[in-house]
Amino acid sequence: MRYQKVPDETIRRLPRYLRALLFLQQRKTESISSQKLAEYVQLNSAVIRKDLSHFGAFGKRGTGYNVSLLSKTIRDILKLNKPQKTVLVGAGRLGTAIASFPGFKRYGFDITAIYDNSKAKIGGKIGDTTIKSTSRLADIRRSEIKMAIIATPPDAAQETADILVENGVTGILNLSSCYLKVPKRVKVRTIDLAMELSMLPYYS
């Protein structure tokens, strides 16, 4: 099923809705009003109703949206309805923490390959996955991996991104605190935790 003409703005908000819905599903909540959902995602409930109407999800007056149905629909749209093979590059402290997160699996990401350039780490395991040498990173092409997480030191990030993109990766979560240059067809989300924290003292 294709959902056409969903605006980019809406697409960008869908993961926030999905996050709330997964949380509600864990708590066995069956339905939720747009007002209540608005509290979770910190958006106006009118924005939510409009966003969700784009793909035919309409809350029922009095009961609201069906949580599991809406969650499934959003997964379908975001192409999270089948496992997304994901490569992690960088098995340092952050990379190791990430490879052990249960969160990724919940969203449908399966970290099937881990690479590092440290001889001490290559051959070791995180969970069931063996850490391989970054010299073999081009191998991801054969596994048709499209998603990647970069958790390398800053000075290795761009080179890593280049190899990933050359070998078929189209989406990168960049945790390297570096800016990455990639072709337009590749999407990068950069998360810099220190930057996120730096917003808070202003309000103190």
Chain residues binding its own copies by CB under 8 A are 11-12, 14-16, 18-20, 23, 40, 77-80, 84, 86, 92-94, 96-98, 100-101, 103-104, 106-109, 146-147, 149, 170-173, 175, 177-179, 187, 189, 191-204
Cα–Cα dist 94/175, whole Å: 9
Cα–Cα dist 77/137, whole Å: 30
Closest distance to its own copies from the beta carbon of 164 (Å): 12
Closest distance to its own copies from the beta carbon of 134 (Å): 19
Of 92 and 123, the one with the shorter C-beta distance to its own copies is 92
Of 166 and 192, the one with the shorter C-beta distance to its own copies is 192
Closest distance to its own copies from the beta carbon of 59 (Å): 20
Alpha helices per DSSP H over 27-166: 34-41, 45-53, 67-77, 93-99, 103-107, 140-143, 154-166
Of 94 and 156, the one with the shorter C-beta distance to its own copies is 94
Cα–Cα dist 173/169, whole Å: 11
Task: Give the residue from 116, 108, 115 showing the smallest Cα distance to 85.
Answer: 108
Which tokens sit at 135?
Answer: 């010299």
Of 73 and 84, the one with the shorter C-beta distance to its own copies is 84
Of 31 and 177, the one with the shorter C-beta distance to its own copies is 177
Closest distance to its own copies from the beta carbon of 61 (Å): 26
Cα–Cα dist 181/174, whole Å: 11
Closest distance to its own copies from the beta carbon of 107 (Å): 5
Closest distance to its own copies from the beta carbon of 196 (Å): 5
Of 59 and 90, the one with the shorter C-beta distance to its own copies is 90
CA 135 → CA 9, 148, 199, distances in Å?
38, 16, 38
Contact 91, 126 (CB under 8 A): yes
